[in-house]
Each structure stands twice: as C-alpha cells, then as structure tokens.
Amino acid sequence: MATPAQLADLGRKIFQRLPQRHTASGNKVISKQLKGDTIVSWFDKPLALRLGGDDPSFEINNAERVGRLDQMKRRGKTTPKKGAGKRSKKSRGISSGGGGRRRVEGDFSERS
C-alpha cells in the first residue's frame, strides 16, 4: 500500500499541481488570465489613426474645416495669438475701458 506522501505526489502529477509548501510562490498570479488585451482596448487609438489616417472622407472634412477657419480669420473671429488677448492689453495700459488706478499729479500733502 502507498504512503500518504506517495499518494500526494501521484495526485500532483495527475492533476498537474505544484507541491504545497507553506510559502508564497506567486503561482496564483502566474496562472491568472492575462489582462493586456483588455487594458489596450480600454485606451484610445493612437493619434494618427484618430486623425483620419488613410480615410478619404477625413481629407474632405479637414478641407472644410480649414476653409471655415479662413473665413473666420478674414472676419477677425478666430482666437487671438498668445499674449494678444484683453488681459495682456490691460497690464500694458492699452485697455479701452476704465478700471485701473490713475495717478493724480500734485496734492501730495503729508499725512499726520
């Protein structure tokens, strides 16, 4: 008759199990299903593919967009260049509105 150790060894060979030691081996992590494809599918496609790639309709849409931008530029309705907005004009003292502090000449009497 076989001993319990021999039976355990035979069972491990039949069921393809590793011997049970009372230490962490990492086999649980290794035997899990891989997550790579799931993670890759979660994120967006690369930028080149999102921007049209070889799609002919993309080129048409892009041409329409560029045409619309040209029309807006001619009418002066596009976004200002960096540093050319209202806020930067205020700091230079060019603003058309009031606001800001005015210096009054004279009347510098001492306070007591």
Q: pLDDT-based confidence at 68, cuts 50/70/90? A: very high
| Whether the predicted pLDDT of 66 surpasses 70 | yes
- pLDDT tier at 97 (50, 70, 90 boundaries)? low
Q: Which of 1, 34, 31 is nearest to 17 (CA)?
A: 31
How much is the pTM? 0.30
Each domain of the chain, given as residue ranges in start order, spans 34-76
Q: At CA 10, angle to CA 4 and CA 15, rounded to 5?
A: 120
pLDDT tens, 5-63? 899 889 888 988 877 777 787 878 888 899 988 888 887 776 666 666 677 777 778 78
Indicate the Cα dihedral angle 19, 24, 27, 28, nearest 10°.
Answer: 120
pLDDT for 96 beyond 70: no
